[in-house]
């Protein structure tokens, strides 16, 4: 391949990765709707999300040729541990996020959870010495202002609980660790390998927590299972798969910022499906978030 062809191929791959990232963010933005209407408790819902996602992932793995699958497997204990870390981070994010929804207002929980881009940016700079441009920081600041406006104006809602707010902030730190650890793996492992190891390790972490803390663990109706299947197949297998694919081509700091499209999608869906009000402030906040992403992309 000539130098010109290689140079033109990289931007094309990055554009495809950006499209996958936005679609993945949109898909995961639907998850609060599934969690809200689930028949089982929030921690049990988190477990079934990753457990049921294994069905399409195993089907995908079975359709992959044996020689190719062998090449994608980790070759050492250190590589196995590296693949487990994102799953542990994802489990911590789901536990803290779902608990915060029962400890503080939904607006506060969503606001603090979506502070992840700040921690991803700091982590990229501190751990990997990734250069951060002023234009990117401007876009980051603009998007964070948009999230605050989207979720209730000048600051956290007055009906919030300090412990709940702190728990939601912990969720954002876990999600930042999830993105950072995945980004370091994507140069060595395929999307399928990263998804399988992350999903299995998250499920192993979540199962004992859900069994111990939840009174309702198994849904009793077809509707309840349909909600969990939608969450596992549509949100996790598809949404997280698209994000993991994109991390092979896009920096984790920019990826986390682009994923701020999630609260925008969640707010719109809650307005359409749950009749939650969507006022001028929420519309303005969504526009500011998207503008910040656009500015950061140029940086």
**pLDDT (tens place) for every residue of the chain, 299 residues total:** 444 444 455 677 777 888 888 888 888 878 777 887 888 888 999 999 999 999 998 888 777 755 555 546 777 888 888 899 999 999 999 999 877 877 776 666 766 777 777 778 777 777 777 777 777 777 777 777 777 776 665 444 444 567 877 888 899 889 889 888 887 787 778 888 888 999 999 999 999 999 998 888 999 899 999 999 999 998 888 888 888 888 777 777 667 766 677 767 776 776 777 676 667 776 777 777 777 766 766 65
> Which domain, by its residues, includes 132?
12-298
- HSE at residue 161, side-chain half, CA atoms within 13 A, is 12
Any domain includes 2: no
Any domain includes 5: no
Distance (Å, whole) CA 43 – CA 272: 26
- Helices marked H in 129-221: 134-150, 162-185, 191-213
Any domain includes 1: no
Any domain includes 91: yes
Any domain includes 277: yes
Specify the pLDDT at position 261.
72
Count Cβ neighbours within 10 Å for each residue of 155-165 and write b for 16 or more, e otherwise: ebeeebeeebb
- HSE at residue 59, side-chain half, CA atoms within 13 A, is 6
Specify the pLDDT at position 112.
74
Any domain includes 31: yes
Specify the pLDDT at position 298.
65
Q: Would you put residue 104 in left (φ > 0), alpha (ψ -120 to 50) or beta? A: beta
pTM of the model: 0.76
The fraction of the chain above a pLDDT of 70, given in percent, is 78
Specify the pLDDT at position 14.
77
DSSP 73: S
Any domain includes 117: yes
Q: Closest Cα partner for 262 from 9, 11, 22, 95? A: 22
Phi, psi for 286 (deg, rounded to 5): -60, -40
Total of domains in the chain? 1
Any domain includes 4: no
Dihedral sign (CA 232, 18, 172, 291)? negative
């Amino acid at each position: 391949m000539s130098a010109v062809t290689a140079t033109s191929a990289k931007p094309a791959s990055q554009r495809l990765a950006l499209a996958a990232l936005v679609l993945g963010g949109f898909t995961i933005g639907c998850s609060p709707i599934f969690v809200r209407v689930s028949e089982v408790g929030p921690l049990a819902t988190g477990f079934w999300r990753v457990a049921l996602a294994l069905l399409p992932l195993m089907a995908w793995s079975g359709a992959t040729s044996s020689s190719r699958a062998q090449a994608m497997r980790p070759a050492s204990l250190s590589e196995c541990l590296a693949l487990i870390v994102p799953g542990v981070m994802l489990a911590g994010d789901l536990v803290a996020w779902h608990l915060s929804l029962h400890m503080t207002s939904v607006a506060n929980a969503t606001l603090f959870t979506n502070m992840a881009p700040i921690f991803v940016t700091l982590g990229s700079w501190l751990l990997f010495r990734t250069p951060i441009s002023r234009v990117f920081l401007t876009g980051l600041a603009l998007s964070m202002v948009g999230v605050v406006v989207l979720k209730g104006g000048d600051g956290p809602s007055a009906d919030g609980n300090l412990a709940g707010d702190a728990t939601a902030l912990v969720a954002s730190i876990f999600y930042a660790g999830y993105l950072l650890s995945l980004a370091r793996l994507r140069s060595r492992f395929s999307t399928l390998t990263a998804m399988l190891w992350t999903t299995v390790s998250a499920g192993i972490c979540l199962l004992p927590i859900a069994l111990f803390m939840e009174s309702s663990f198994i849904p009793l109706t077809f509707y309840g299972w349909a909600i969990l299947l939608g969450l596992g197949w549509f949100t996790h297998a598809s949404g997280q798969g698209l994000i993991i694919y994109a991390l092979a081509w896009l920096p984790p700091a920019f990826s986390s910022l682009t994923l701020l499209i999630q609260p925008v999608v969640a707010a719109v869906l809650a307005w359409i499906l749950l009749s939650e009000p969507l006022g001028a402030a929420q519309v303005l906040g969504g526009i500011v978030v998207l503008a910040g992403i656009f500015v950061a992309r140029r940086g």
